[in-house]
Amino acid sequence: MDRIAELEKLILEKRRCHLVGIGGVSMSPLAKVLFDRGVPVTGSDMADSETVHRLRDQGITVFLGHRSENVEGAAFVIRTAAAHDDNPEVEYARDNGIPVFERAEAWGCIMRHYKNALCISGTHGKTTTTSMCTHILMAAEMDPTVMIGGTLALLHSGYRVGKGDSIILESCEYYDSFLSFFPTIAVILDIEADHLDYFKDLEDVKKSFRKFAGLVPANSGTVIANIDDENTMDAIRDIRRRVVTFGLSPEADIRARDIRMENGVSSFDVVYKMKSYCHIDLHIPGLHNVKNALAAAAAAIELGIPGETVSRGLAAFRGAARRFEFKGTVNGARVYDDYAHHPGELHALLDAVRSITDGRVVLAFQPHTYSRTKALFEDFAKELSHADKVYLAEIYAAREKNTIGISSADLAAAIPGAVFCPTFPELTEKLRAEAHPGDVILTVGAGNIYTICGELCE
């Protein structure tokens, strides 16, 4: 029996499941989906959190800390990507013949039961575009199930469990996890070299996306691709699937016309095969977000959603948490927080900020992982140097150990005028002293740099 069929059988039989890392951004909604289907669920996490409390309030047992005894009595285990083979709960399960499944396999198993499985992939823009699609499907009253890699104000969380026949998932390429999915509509926003601790190079990344595109049904599925991105178009060349393109190119199936940007609002018409589909007033800045909205509109077209509903859904969208999120002010400077952790994302962020201010841009950046910092070192230095002043926090280790011997101090030395701050209190004080009326201060990175915003903002 293949793994997905085995997992599906265990879920249908409502056998007890244990989730390792249940408090994670995509593990907690998975726990809720399984629990709502009548599967007895337990889980463990390393730290107490609001998410853990919510799960307990729903009747799910959550242990703090990973211990072998937590798994006793479970029929199967689902683990987060951060739980490796040496995790005591994973080790206990395998030593006792309890099958261990990956998080992505579980989501893949679940999405097979939906008529519409909309999977949003790409190196950048996944969370924002998944959030846009959620706004649109909610406006269309399709009651979707949703899994987003960030918090969306509309949902008051990063997920929802609906009763409709559509599921929307942010789909990540890391460790080829999205290859466990079963998309009926696969969106590819863009492709760049990233996660080079797993992929060998850009060609290896493109190979993974090519396999992802090939997962849509040959006769009924659709691949939605960014025609402006050379790597994307190369990855899907000759895939023998229905392809719908979006972008700013006049050759795109779905494109923007008459783009106007003013005071952080992008207004444009969406044109589908030379005919007007809808008008969008997008209340988040940046040309990259115009493209994200086009991708969301393309998905809506494939789902048969009227243009008026797309206009209404996106008019209410104000961004996802940690995606150019306004946090407050300090000394008259506006403070925004953003998740950007790749040079391409930094480029798009700074372009968007320049479109809404003539003031100085002060950027506090926390690199994410040693391997990414080393692999993309020159690109990071180039993009960061476009800010007026740069402060660097130490690298956020995430899943890694610093076997490379690299530090943010090395990056600071490569950027004229950049300042390395080894601690958050020092970084906070430096930013407060730097802030002046009219400035925009950005706290940026996929780690925990966002935690300084409360102390920084008045």
Cα(254)–Cα(298) distance, integer angstroms: 7
| Boundary (domain end) residue, out of 284, 315, 346 | 315
Nearest residue to 415 via CA among 346, 326, 349, 316: 346
Look at residues 81, 103, 125 and tell me which one is the last residue of a structural domain. 103
Kindly name the residue from 80, 127, 184, 373 that is annotated as catalytic.
127
pLDDT at position 74, please?
A: 97
Strands of the 100-102 sheet, one edge to the other: 61-64, 41-45, 17-20, 76-79, 100-102
Domain end marker among 315, 334, 369: 315
Q: Structural domain tally of the chain?
A: 3
In this structure, are 70 and 123 located in the same domain?
Answer: no
In whole angstroms, give the CA distance from residue 88 to residue 20. 10
Per-residue pLDDT at 372: 94
- Same domain? 222 vs 160: yes
- Is 357 part of a structural domain of the chain? yes
Please say if the pLDDT value at position 157 is more than 90.
no
Q: How far apart are CA 234 and CA 231, in angstroms?
A: 5
Confidence at residue 164, expressed as pLDDT on a 0 to 100 scale = 95
The reply to whether 191 and 225 lie within a common domain is yes
Active-site residue identified among 8, 105, 170, 192: 170
pLDDT at 458 over 80: no
- 108 belongs to a structural domain: no
The mean pLDDT value of the chain amounts to 94
pLDDT at 321: 80
The reported pTM is 0.86
pLDDT value for 126: 95
Contact status, residue 428 vs residue 455, Cβ threshold 8 Å: yes
Kind plus residue range of the DSSP H or E element containing 7: helix 3-12
Residues 338 and 386 in one domain: yes
Give yes or no: residues 99 and 129 share one domain: no
One domain, residues 239 and 343: no
Regarding whether 95 and 212 lie in a shared domain, the answer is: no
Check which CATH number belongs to the domain holding 435 and give it.
3.90.190.20
Q: Specify the CATH number for the domain of residue 96.
A: 3.40.50.720
Annotated catalytic residue, options 8, 80, 89, 126:
126
365 and 291 fall within a common domain = no
Q: Is 19 inside a domain boundary?
A: yes
- Catalytic residue list contains 173: no
pLDDT in tens, 412-436: 999 999 999 999 999 999 999 999 9
Residue 428 lies in a domain: yes
Range of the domain at 67: 3-103
Residue 50: band (very low, low, confident or very high) from pLDDT cuts 50, 70, 90: confident
In the residue annotation, 126 being an active-site residue is answered as yes
Is there a single domain that holds both residue 144 and residue 281? yes
Same domain, 85 and 128: no
Q: What value does the mean pLDDT take over residues 211-229?
A: 97
CATH number for the domain that contains residue 269: 3.40.1190.10
* Residue 109 lies inside a defined structural domain of this protein: no
44, 64 Cβ separation under 8 angstroms? yes
Q: Give domain status of residue 320, yes or no.
A: no
Q: Do both 337 and 431 map to the same domain?
A: yes
What pLDDT score was predicted for residue 175? 86
265 located within any domain: yes
